[in-house]
Structure 1
Amino acid sequence: MCIRDRSHAPRWGGRPGPLRFAATLLFVVALPVLTVTTGIRVLFSLPQVYDYSIEHFDAASLTGIPESELKRANRELVRYFADDRRLLQLEVTDATGQQVPLFTPVETAHLADVKALLRWVNAVQVASLAYVLAYVVLVYVWAREGSVRDLAGAVVWSAVATYALLGAAGAMALAGFDAFWERLHQALFRNDLWRLDPARHHLIQMFPEEFWFQMVALVVGGTLALMTVLAGLSLAYLWLARPRRDWMEAPLPQEAPTPPQVPAGGPVREGLEGSPSSGGSS
């Protein structure tokens, strides 16, 4: 059995190479994409979110359909977005007790477009999750080409990019959600089936624009909150793991050498010492 020798595995020091830089850049992008798409996927899979719109925007009186029937339709919508049906055929009992189609053919066709878009969102979410996990495992666990400090730095840069992009999108939505919502639909759909009439289309009566404003705010706010937590943890790690010198390893200050002592009468010169010579007798 062959075992890969990791003792000579390349370790990244200094600037990364172009391949490593590209992989890190993709990680910086994939992390917020994963967060946004996960939020969208969760919201569209919870019937309680649909029920919130029915209860808080008076959908029963607008549609003329009992609230219990609308909530039953909500669960059918959740199942429809998760199964393989091309079109949704859904009948409900209205206030007069008659069985009627809940949606018109235009609404049904638009729901098919929404389902196709959700399939794409789900695929992007799975791909971004797979890439984030693969990047962390391959670069930091298997190849050991980066340190935890490198990973923390990449998370911080990802948070900065998220703040910039979602901050701009949030500012546009707050400046005028009607225009923002219309431009978003024009970018996501190739037709005008999403232009529904609030006076006669049940779909927009059940889920009005105010509801979607709250859902957009929830996804954006949740993404920013999660990225803030990740960035905060990363910054805390970078601060705690910063290079610092142990005080026990610091060199002790050395004492200055003691200057030589000078006699009080000044320096003694050699050859000038001794007693004076005595004179001879006559």
Structure 2
Amino acid sequence: MLRNNYIHSIFQVIIIVYLPIVILLSILQVYALNENFYTKEFKKNHVSENTKIELEDLNRITTELIDYLKDRRNDLNIFAEIKGKKSTVFGEREKKHMKDVKKLFQRGFILRNVGIVLLIGALLGLSKISENANKAIYQSLLGSSILSLGIMIFIFVLIQEDFYKYFTYFHKIFFENDLWMLNPKTDILIQMLPLDFFYDIATRVIGSFVGIMFSIGGISFYKLRKS
């Protein structure tokens, strides 16, 4: 009996912890690998004017960048017409940074996929060992929603206060070097993806995440009250 209670608790903790991770990484993938989102941001941030690269070429470069992050191509030796002259788009520092970014994305994909497997296992496990499986599952979903919403709202408040500050903290935590410190006057990568781009993607990811977790929490609370 004690062993079942212990396993029961482990399954609930897995749901509480991994559900928001899987949802957050999935939403991030939707935006970070969405070519239409990039095109809208290029127009909004006047990227064509700043880089002297036509929008059509910017879209092609984006396609190749996304293919690189998806591991569909091995390098970023990309050429485009810049200021009327055909030349390489990214310098060595930019390529090295994107190699680090790619590694981060690949780890994120692995974490998300492992999380999906653990979630399925935990849900099936609760269904088998719990006397009231539905209640246990809804309790886990509600707990996950409350915890993740609290954390995400706190993060949203912080980035509203000073996005650049916490964007910098993010890079210092997840990157072991300073290759991410690019020159906006000379480096095409940061001209294509300025700070406003990352602010927009962050707020959209947070907004979508909050909406999904709030819905899950609301449905779970309703089901628990009804039962």
TM-score band, normalised by shorter chain = over 0.9
The separation in 1 between residues aligned to 2:122 and 2:11, in whole angstroms, is: 7
What's the offset of the Cα at 1:18? 2.4
Indicate whether 1:111 and 2:67 are aligned: no
Q: Partner residue of 2:220?
A: 234
Indicate whether 1:50 and 2:38 are aligned: yes
Pairwise mapping of residues 1-282 of structure 1 onto structure 2 (< 5 A)? 17-83=5-71, 85-96=73-84, 98-140=85-127, 142-241=128-227
What's the offset of the Cα at 1:194? 0.4
8 Å Cα contact 1:86-1:112 kept in structure 2: no
Greater shift, 196-205 or 41-50, is seen at 41-50
The separation in 1 between residues aligned to 2:27 and 2:162, in whole angstroms, is: 23
The separation in 2 between residues aligned to 1:38 and 1:123, in whole angstroms, is: 12
8 Å Cα contact 1:63-1:202 kept in structure 2: yes
Q: Secondary structure in 2 aligned to 1:100?
A: strand
8 Å Cα contact 2:96-2:179 kept in structure 1: yes
The separation in 1 between residues aligned to 2:29 and 2:132, in whole angstroms, is: 32
Q: Runs of 5+ in structure 1 lacking a partner?
A: 1-9, 242-282
Greater shift, 84-93 or 70-79, is seen at 84-93
The separation in 2 between residues aligned to 1:65 and 1:40, in whole angstroms, is: 27
What's the offset of the Cα at 1:159? 0.6
The separation in 2 between residues aligned to 1:68 and 1:29, in whole angstroms, is: 42
Deviations 1:224-254 (A, max 9, x none): 110111111111111222xxxxxxxxxxxxx
Tell me which protein shows more helix as a share of its residues: 2
Task: Report % sequence identity.
Answer: 20
Higher RCO (CA-CA < 8 Å; seq separation 6+): 2
8 Å Cα contact 2:11-2:125 kept in structure 1: no
Q: TM-score, normalised by structure 1?
A: 0.76
Q: How many residues align?
A: 227
Deviations 1:100-151 (A, max 9, x none): 11111111111111111000111111111111111112221x4455421111
Q: TM-score, normalised by structure 2?
A: 0.94
Q: Secondary structure in 1 aligned to 2:224?
A: helix
The separation in 2 between residues aligned to 1:153 and 1:20, in whole angstroms, is: 12
8 Å Cα contact 1:41-1:121 kept in structure 2: no
8 Å Cα contact 1:53-1:206 kept in structure 2: no
Q: Which amino acid aligns with 1:130?
A: V
The separation in 1 between residues aligned to 2:79 and 2:34, in whole angstroms, is: 21
8 Å Cα contact 2:14-2:122 kept in structure 1: no
The separation in 2 between residues aligned to 1:86 and 1:105, in whole angstroms, is: 15
8 Å Cα contact 2:130-2:136 kept in structure 1: no
What's the offset of the Cα at 1:199? 1.0
What's the offset of the Cα at 1:20? 2.0
Larger Rg: 1
Q: Secondary structure in 2 aligned to 1:17?
A: helix
Q: Which amino acid aligns with 2:63?
A: R
